[in-house]
Amino acid sequence: MIPAEQIDAAVAKVADQLNERYRGRTPIFLGVLSGSFLFLSDLVRKVTFDSQMAFIKISSYSGTQSSGQVTQQLDVDFDIEGRDIIIVEDIVETGHSMNYLLAHLRAKNPASIAICTLFFKPEKFLYEYPIDYVALSIGNEFIVGYGLDYNQLGRNLKDIYVIDE
């Protein structure tokens, strides 16, 4: 569906936008595991400002369907109060997971929170909060590759593929 070269160009575009906003600041990139690891890795190598990195693990999927229930397995292990946070996600669909994460992080009093996603499915999104940085908007296909998986398989693929069931 999407070749690696197109993904790389989209990541570079987002990095340029982040470079503009965060020049002279030191935000924390908060990678949402497991899907965001490739996107985050490529993204931080394209930004030109100093930053820190942390990871959080939440999930709501089983197979190709969201359960609607968000569970958290890993949290930020240092104080983020007063800091700029850039959440880095592989894909935002309904927004349930991000809604959970925003509430969780706001309770820790960061200076700001921005959402940066590789893929966004605007037709499925159910919330009003903004998605600040979107590399690529897509339809309702279930995709794998570049960190995204189907039952933990396919993350290693350099291109994006559609799963047909």
E-strand spans in 104-152?
A: 112-120, 133-137, 142-144
Structure confidence by residue, pLDDT tens digits, 38-82: 999 999 999 999 999 999 988 765 555 555 666 665 567 778 999
CA gap 27, 24 in Å, rounded:
10
Is the per-residue pLDDT at 165 higher than 70? no
- The answer to whether 96 and 60 are in contact (CB under 8 A) is yes
- The answer to whether 18 and 33 are in contact (CB under 8 A) is no
Give SS3 for 90.
Answer: strand
Q: What is the mean pLDDT of residues 5-32?
A: 97
Residue 135: is it exposed, middle or buried by C-beta count within 10 angstroms (0-12/13-18/19+)? buried
For residue 106, how many other CB atoms are within 10 A of its CB? Answer: 11
Ramachandran region of residue 109, left (φ > 0), alpha (ψ -120 to 50) or beta?
left
Structure confidence by residue, pLDDT tens digits, 70-122: 666 556 777 899 999 999 999 999 998 899 999 999 999 999 999 999 999 99
CA gap 65, 54 in Å, rounded:
27
Is the per-residue pLDDT at 7 higher than 70? yes
pLDDT of amino acid 72: 62
Is the per-residue pLDDT at 132 higher than 70? yes
Provide the CA 9 distance to its chain's centre, in angstroms.
Answer: 17
Domain ranges of the chain: 4-163
Q: What are phi and psi of 144, to 5 degrees?
A: -135, 160
CATH topology of domain 4-163: Rossmann fold (3.40.50)
pTM score: 0.89
